[in-house]
Amino acid sequence: MRILTYIRQVLDAEESVHIANDAVALENSKLVMDTMDEYGVEEALRLRESGIEAEIVAVAVGSARIQDALRTALAMGADRAIHVETDTRLDAIALSKVLAQLATQEQATLIFSGGQQADWDSHALAAATAERLNWPQVTWTSALELKGTTLTGKHDADEGSESFTLELPAVVTTQQGLNEPRYPTLPNIMKSKKKELRKESLDEFDVTPKLKFVSAEIQVKNRLNKILDGKDAPAAAAQLVDLLRNEARVIA
């Protein structure tokens, strides 16, 4: 079988956000593979290591820099990668059109994607891809097993969690808690340089986004930042309670 793991490259969580020309400017910032997608790569590797014969293909759509994230996936253990290069920013619905076509071309039967993208803060990509392929989906999985063509596992629902079974093909979204992603080792980083990273042009996929990104601004709520020293606990506690009662008036 063939597994696609879809990868985003996002701002490192430790980095500050900068805005230029009404959009988030990433040129001078550290970018990393979206952690939610790392769980997808790791889960694909674990399925293969559990004895399932599978080729794992890492897929990304984005600017030239995104190939660093694909190289990371290859160094983790993916077999090859496909990079659809574009500087056009695509929303999840537009992006799913590319991903669904790649899945069809590659005759994939399982797709992993992160549960929420840490840039567009969207949950839509996996479900949109599943719909385009007319496949079922399962989102926010926290446990997964594959026997033959039957997936079983656990995922988060509106209230609490559910156990499920599902027949392949399917789209699965991943999250923290599903597994612990491995770090690429030096020998694997060296090996990954020889692995195939195929470039494709976005023009091949006939994508016309229906959403326009108009502007972006950093939300700064001015905080009071009244921070007390707590060495003398009773005194600090008295001062805090007084502030909350009489200044902020948030407690009785």
Partner 1 sequence: MILIVVEYANGKVSKSTWEMITAARESGREAPLTALVLGSNISAIAAEVARAVDQVLVADLPALAQYDPELWSAAVAQIAAEGEANLVLIGGSRSGREYSPRVAIKLDAPLLEDVITLKSSAETNTAQRYTFLARVTETIESTTPIAVVTIKPGVFNPATPKAEAAEQFDVDLNLPTPRLKVTGKTAERSSRISLSEAEIVVSGGRGVGSAEGFTQYVEALADQLGAAVGATRAIVDAGWRPYSEQVGQTGKTVQPKTYIAIGISGAVQHLSGMNKSKTIVAINRDPEAPIFKIADYGIIGDVTQLVPAILTELKK
Interacting positions 197-216 with partner 1 (CB under 8 A): 209-216
Please state the closest distance from residue 113 (CB atom) to partner 1, in A. Answer: 12
Contact stretch for partner 1 (CB under 8 A) within 43-51, 61-69, 195-203, 239-247 = 239-247
Which residue among 63, 109, 176, 188 contacts partner 1 (CB under 8 A)?
176
Q: What is the DSSP letter of 245?
A: I
Q: Which of residues 61-80 bind partner 1 (CB under 8 A)?
A: none
Phi, psi of 129 (to 5 degrees): -65, -45
Q: Give the other-Cβ count within 10 Å of 168's Cβ.
A: 17
The residue (of 13 and 186) whose beta carbon lies closer to partner 1 is: 13
Residue among 52, 124, 189, 197 that touches partner 1 (CB under 8 A): 124
- For 205-233, give one letter per residue: b (16+ CB within 10 A) or e: bebeeeeeeeeeeeeeeeeeeeeeeeeee
> How many residues interact with partner 1 (rule CB under 8 A)?
79
Q: Are 116 and 126 in contact (CB under 8 A)?
A: no
Q: Which is nearer to partner 1, 190 or 235 (CB)?
A: 235
Q: Which stretch binds partner 1 (CB under 8 A): 1-9, 174-182, 186-194, 199-207?
A: 174-182
Q: What is the β-pairing status of strands 161-167 and 31-33? A: unpaired
